Amino acid sequence: MQAFTYTRAKSIDHAIETSARASTAQQGAEIRFVAGGTTLIDLMKLDVERPVQVIDINRLPLSTIERDADGGYRIGALVRNADLANHPQIRQAYPVLSQALLSGASGQLRNMATTSGNLLQRTRCVYFRDVHSACNKRSPGSGCAALEGYHRNLAILGGSEHCIATNPSDMNVALMALGATVAIQGPKGKRDVPLADFFLLPGDTPQRETVMEPGDLITHVRLARAQPQAKSLYLKLRDRASYEFALASVAIVVGLEGGRIRDAAIAMGGVGTRPWRSAAAEQVLRDSAPGPAVFQKAAQAFLADAKPHPGNQFKLELARRCLLKALGDVTTTA
């Protein structure tokens, strides 16, 4: 681990100003905010992350879960995953989010990991975490060793010739299905970004994973008011039952009326370079009677653009079965 400057932020403005000042003074240098540190510290030890400045934001007033005027919720950036998963109103109104959080990591890590840190979680691709391997995400222009190497747990949707790394978060998949919005504050002011626009596809710039700019700080995540009759579910398939990342997962939110699917939101994890949502699959389900035939058609639409590699070809069938199982379960219990 290389030497770095440590600063404890006194306020949101202080955190942003410190980061912006350091970015200006040292063009191209890594400046990082730290909260729970469950990803950043690991990557610093591996020499994958080499920040020259680390800004501790743990004392900022961003640790609350509050009801919005419109009936939704504002989740502070520093809310710990365990607290969010077990919050009574979140469990009642957005069970898919609670289920996703509780399926991730371990109890100890959930006690430390934060909402914003989870949003910005880095991939678990083995080549990204190995500084001796080619990785365009870690070292742009070096190549992607995963394309011809070990890619069993990598993406079949949204990849490019430069990167096929998956987004590893469970929380992000649930937030995508819920249509969450990310509140960002930075040197240029405040802005709200729909989660669907927050994550970037790798394209030819896989090192840029989100719309975050130097000095930007996530302050909140906003959830719209939950529909009273909506049902939701998170299903995660993995190699073992705990402390393992998804090979395929799905978050579903459906509204049923008169025996038909009034509306549906579907996002999948473990299969995409970002939490993957499919408008085509949702359109198939909308205003349809639930059943195996329409579920199969929705799964086909969801995976229509999948481009698996030899080592993860199995994910096509695994993801299809994951989606079919979740659709059957959520509509049966509705």
Per-residue pLDDT, 53: 96
Q: 24 pLDDT exceeds 90?
A: no
The predicted pLDDT at position 28 comes to 79
Of the listed ranges 25-34, 50-59, 106-115, 169-178, the least confidently predicted one is 25-34
Q: What is the pLDDT of residue 223?
A: 98
| Total residues belonging to the chain | 334
What are the domain boundaries of the chain?
Answer: 1-59, 230-332
Q: Are 184 and 217 in contact (CB under 8 A)?
A: yes
Rounded CA gap, 273 and 206, in Å? 10
Contact yes or no for 124/137 (Cβ under 8 A) = no
Count Cβ atoms below 10 Å from residue 21 Cβ, excluding itself. 14
- Predicted TM-score (pTM) of this structure: 0.97
Cα 61 to Cα 79, 188, 268, distances in angstroms: 10, 21, 32
Mean pLDDT of the residues in the chain: 96
What's the topology of domain 230-332? Answer: Enolase-like; domain 1 (3.30.390)
pLDDT (tens digit per residue) in 208-222: 999 999 999 999 999
Which CATH number is 1-59's, of 3.30.43.10, 3.40.50.720, 3.40.50.300, 3.90.1150.10?
Answer: 3.30.43.10
* pLDDT for res 204: 97
Residues 132-187 pLDDT 10s: 999 999 999 999 999 999 999 999 999 999 999 999 999 999 999 999 999 999 99
Reported as a single tens digit per residue, the pLDDT across 222-236 is 999 999 889 999 999
Six-digit token string for 139: 């070292």
Each residue of 72-110: pLDDT tens digit? Answer: 999 999 999 999 999 999 999 999 999 999 999 999 999
Higher pLDDT, 27 or 163: 163
Question: Residue 334 has what pLDDT?
Answer: 46
Average pLDDT over residues 32-38: 97
